[in-house]
Structure 1
């Protein structure tokens, strides 16, 4: 009898263990995050797994940013081999929808997560919708900003009583400020990417919008007087290079190096470089610095932005079980609840509960440039637009020579437009 009882208890324990193992869901996760934001995302994943050690485990893989990531997602989802959840740029969602690569996020999903339209800033919320359907949950807004060396700007009289840069608005004023900084001994007034027109497109798009212009869309790119407005935008940066305020043919790493070594007093770059500055300063290797919204060089404030989002691939022939889907929604909800930590990567959380919090408003320089969310512009909703897209490729090919004075700006912008209009 005792032997039978021991055997029965052992069997019950094994069944309980097996049931427990089956109850724990694994969420296969893909992202493209490197550098400072990659470090922070890995920490978020680690913390999530700790908090859910008995119920859900994220198994994360980081893939190469850009075209390699999106190509792998498309091909993998088509054969049912994609992840359960992934990060995705909102600017790439229209193309993904056209390829049937993404699963719709339903109103019921949002209710389960306790989220709604009211939870998010307007621009990133709009960017995850195509034809009235939602295909991702916004996590952040990552615009370009103007980084500046506080010490150099103060010495040049370009810091106001509020401790922020002054005298930078207007094309001529900005050029005069750069010259003043250089007259004071700084090699360059500004570091910005000039070897890659695809990155510089972010600046051009901002300056186009500052004139009230639009890029347009499929088959009608730079309509009306927008070609001339884009010419005006590109000419600004071409003049920076021509007049020696910014160096020619400078790639991304060199741009960052010019600023962090003090050879350039300002830098146009994405908010994702905030961790670089924060970490260097913590190590005692960087000057006093700050970051602000792009100056208004034309008529109104406007800045290019994109968003990281959470998306669920449409794995053909392998739909998620209810249990798996519930686990995926729990991951998204948890990440949204912990977006304040993500803000340390420089990004502006899309979740208004975070950006409205006292903790975020005390975060610098994030809180200083956060108001630019009211002035952001996203890529047009087109299968040809977004990061690592034909639009970016066309900008790189046509506009890089114009920035560096090798081709007439009007000729380059016309080529840019015509290349886009030829896309089918």
Structure 2
């Protein structure tokens, strides 16, 4: 009976073709995708989506890019609340706690992960932990992105701070780091260091501050208490360290994000602290022969007690659409997308990020990718923002960095007052 039906169907298709009528193609599963990826990140992700669709012709991704930060997360929250929004979206792991508290996110099940061969052992411990809230997985990590130290090899070599391996030496320890920055500040308009410390965006100040706090073994939040106990003293020391770089004239004051980069790329700053996402900028400028010097990048030195660096992660999440949940069919396609993106995240590494999927990070292809593999060690010492609705991307914590940390770094407020006001304001937000 089945054989006869197949013959009948085949004959019907042939007859339709004979009279010039096309046989309908198998319907594709349409997946709605939202992201916040612009610039180089956006270009690379669009390329990955195209490559995915080529490998998976039965799935079509309808992608939309929205504005990064608060606008994106507000749009996701309001859309999910009325049963609208995407089937899959990019999401910062640091925003997971807030997304869960507002009922915006749908957790992944163990069976969904197993269906595409994914599990805890595939990811770095810090990344995997940050993806969980109250024991449930709300995001599947794609990368780890952090701040790093960019350096001008020519200037470091001239100052005797470059080893025979072409990498910096003598930067570990606060006294050594300060001595190096001082030595690299030549007095002819060249600074030892450039950081983004100017308003109106305190995100860079927060990342450096949080790194220095973590290197002292400090904890920003403990049992819903902000900078409790000796953590306040450690926070003050972190701010004083940054403020001293500016006060001594080793790093300029009130520098915008773009200007902090320009100081380094023009050769006016020997070192520069910024995110891994600026690696493509340096690579492109070097290829265009617009740098004028040899450069490198490394994990932030151990300035205090142990290696630690602020980090976040782009991940994939699914909205909790009220009354219009993502169907089982769509979830099957969503999991196929997530798995493919992880297995092919070497393409994403070209944006400077460290792949969260360990099989890629440990591959020969990634180990041969320079300079990315030079700072891949930070994945093991990454420290994510506290799991709280007041921290993470575009959060109240970032606002306090703008309002208190930046003025203190630039000498407009003392460090003790800055961290105390930061603590009090955020503690009040938790009430």
TM category (shorter chain) comes to: over 0.9
Q: 1:394 Cα deviation (Å)?
A: 1.5
Shift of 1:262: 1.1
* Contact 1:219/1:420, CA 8 A, preserved across alignment: no
Deviates more, 1:226-235 or 1:31-40: 31-40
**In the alignment, which residue of structure 2 is the partner of 1:311?**
317
Return the alpha-carbon distance in structure 2 between the equivalents of residues 70 and 368 of structure 1.
33
Matches within 5 A, 1:67-216: 67-183=70-186, 185=188, 187-195=190-198, 196-216=201-221
- Which residue matches 1:419? 425
Distance (whole Å) between structure 2 residues aligned to residue 275 and residue 399 of structure 1: 28
> Equivalent of 1:302, from 308, 315, 318?
308
- Using the TM superposition, give the Cα deviation of residue 188 of structure 1 relative to its aligned residue in structure 2, in angstroms: 1.0
2:371 aligned with 1:368: no
Residue 66 (structure 1) shift: 0.6
CA distance in 2, matches of 1:201, 1:320: 36
Aligned counterpart for 1:60 among listed residues 60, 63, 72: 63
Aligned match of 1:335 in 330, 337, 341? Answer: 341
Contact 2:93 2:315 in 1 (8 A): yes
Q: State yes or no: 1:243 paired with 2:255.
A: no
Deviations 1:298-353 (A, max 9, x none): 11111000001000111111122222111111111110110111111111111110
Structure 1 pair 7–399 and aligned structure 2 pair: CA distance change class (3 A)? closer
Aligned length in residues:
416
Q: Give the structure 2 partner of residue 28 of structure 1.
A: 32
Structure 1 unpaired stretches of 5+ = none
**8 Å Cα contact 2:204/2:274 also seen in 1:** no
Counterpart in the other structure of 2:237: 232
Q: What's the RMSD between the two structures over aligned residues?
A: 1.9
TM-score of the aligned structures, taking structure 1 as reference length:
0.94
Normalised by the length of structure 2, the TM-score is: 0.93
Q: What displacement does 1:51 show? A: 2.1
2:4 paired residue number = none
Distance 1:184 1:369 in 2: 30
After TM superposition, the structure 1 stretch with the greater mean CA deviation from structure 2, 161-170 or 327-336, is 161-170
Counterpart of 1:259 in structure 2 is 264
CA distance in 2, matches of 1:331, 1:300: 38
SS in 2 for 1:274: helix
Give the secondary structure class of the aligned counterpart of 1:290: strand
Q: Distance in 2 between matches of 1:344 and 1:322?
A: 33
- How far off is 1:366 after superposition? 1.1
Q: CA deviation at 1:15?
A: 9.0
Q: Which of 18, 24, 41 is residue 17 of structure 1 equivalent to?
A: 24
Residue aligned with 2:312, SS? coil
Correspondence for 1:39 among 18, 43, 46: 43
Alpha-carbon separation, structure 2, partners of 1:71 and 1:218: 27
Give the structure 2 partner of residue 274 of structure 1: 279
CA distance in 1, matches of 2:207, 2:229: 21
